[in-house]
Amino acid sequence: MKLTAIRKFTGRLELVTGLHIGSGNNEMHIGGTDNPVLKNPITQEPYIPGSSLKGKIRSLLEWKLGVVGQTQGKPLGFRDINGLLGAEREAAKNLLKLFGGAPEGAGQDMKLVEEIGPTRLAFWDCPLTRSWVEEMSRRNLLLTETKMENMIDRIQGVAVNPRNTERVPAGASFDFALTLRVHDDEDLRATVFEGLKLLELTGLGGSVSRGYGKVKFAELKLDGEDVLPELARIDLAVAA
């Protein structure tokens, strides 16, 4: 197996609705929010972790392949491929090539491990686009918003358990970067594009079922060439 190229996706990921990716800070602060977003500890600017993108896209592709029940909700592994045949087996192998798989100890098919090789995709953290940050500063606006939420008592018709959630507002944009290692001139781009389209269709972060986290690619390039039209041409009936 020979590394023959490293290809780079770059672009701009824009929020259609407010995004919440939590910081995991459960402490209550006077005047603070109950549920803050993740921020860069130096700049205090929100960002999208590469791990969030990788986990969501991998999960969506595994759901589309139909292996989530077989893996009992865990990420697809080498042993899970043994029960697959034909096109499904090849698609599962491509997922492991792109996203990697953890070692599974004794009994692992080492020939399969060698065939799949190293993880091809590297997802990078996505910082806020500088032009958007500068625009917010010029307009004297904050980089996040606080959204109030309540649960409604169905019988009394009153709000109970009020809480507030911090979000990055709709319209914000993040610099997107993804690198793809190519071995022996293989072509795994179709699966990558499918994963990016599924991300647009389903959203990112928490509370997606309540309208949070809808995103779209405002720009997308592969090695400097515009591939946004290629993403748009993906058959939504197949990717949905």
- pLDDT in the model for residue 31: 44
39: containing domain: 3-239
pLDDT digits (tens, 9 = 90+) for 132-182: 999 999 999 999 998 877 677 677 766 666 778 899 999 999 999 999 999
On the question of pLDDT at 7 being above 80, the answer is yes
Instruction: Quote the CA–CA distance of 35 and 38 in Å, as a whole number.
Output: 10
pLDDT, tens only, 45-74: 999 999 999 999 999 999 998 888 777 778
pLDDT value of residue 112? 81
- Spatial neighbors of 107 by CB under 8 A, at least 6 apart, are 79
* Residue 192 predicted with pLDDT over 80: yes
Domain count, the chain: 1
- Angle of helix 86-99 versus helix 189-202 axis, rounded to 10: 80
Q: What is the pTM (predicted TM-score) of this model?
A: 0.86
- State how far the alpha carbon of 160 is from the alpha carbons of 93, 150, 164, 165, in Å: 48, 6, 13, 16
